[in-house]
Chain A
Amino acid sequence: EDKVVQSPLSLVVHEGDTVTLNCSYEVTNFRSLLWYKQEKKAPTFLFMLTSSGIEKKSGRLSSILDKKELFSILNITATQTGDSAVYLCAVEEGDDKIIFGKGTRLHILP
């Protein structure tokens, strides 16, 4: 059973739209949640979240964690074609174990 579930699995929107990507998790001994963007090769880091309710922001991207409801969202406003990628959510459990969801494949139409 998947411990980290991302939704939707794929999403196609037009440039300029706002998108919200979801990540829910069910792990013991949660320590942090991470978001990555993957284009061709290695994932690139976006955010690390450890505390509930504190929004992290970087340009048009923002993310927030709800440790009570066990989920996180990643928002991208005013999307651009360069935002097209797979967005990966990962959760760090105790003992340094880091597990990933299946990812959301985002495609931005010009």
Chain B
Amino acid sequence: DGGITQSPKYLFRKEGQNVTLSCEQNLNHDAMYWYRQDPGQGLRLIYYSQIVNDFQKGDIAEGYSVSREKKESFPLTVTSAQKNPTAFYLCASWGGLQPQHFGDGTRLSIL
């Protein structure tokens, strides 16, 4: 079955540490997205990528970085510069004609 796989489901970060969240899709979608969701809030766009080797900042890109070396993969790194990283992170992909497909999310917490 086609879909999006995010890993891990739960992640703990120590102060000053960078962590990378994985997102893989086998839907052959060109566009991929990372959103952050805080408790009781909607989704805020961190980064998105329309095509391999290209990506754009969303509304809250500071403290995050991404890469898009392969069409299937769009990993998100939460750097130590992100001072409040505790949140639920959702990855999505989009093929243009259908609505976005979402992964099951990664919940990041600070130790």
A95 lies within 8 A of chain B by Cβ: yes
Residue B33 at the A interface, CB < 8 A?
yes
Please tell me which one of the listed residues B43, B45, B104 contacts residue A88 in the complex, with CB atoms under 8 A apart: B43
**Does B40 interact with chain A (Cβ within 8 Å)?**
yes
User: Count of A residues near B, CB < 8 Å?
Assistant: 21
Q: Contact: B41 with A102, CB < 8 Å?
A: yes
Name the contact of B42 in the complex, choosing from A6, A34, A42 (C-beta under 8 A): A6
20 A-B pairs besides A97-B48, A102-B42 with CB distance below 8 A are A42-B103, A42-B105, A43-B43, A43-B102, A48-B99, A88-B42, A96-B31, A96-B48, A96-B94, A97-B45, A97-B56, A97-B58, A98-B45, A98-B94, A98-B100, A99-B58, A100-B35, A100-B43, A100-B44, A105-B40
Binding site for B on A (CB under 8 A): 6, 34, 36, 41-43, 45, 48, 86, 88, 90, 95-103, 105
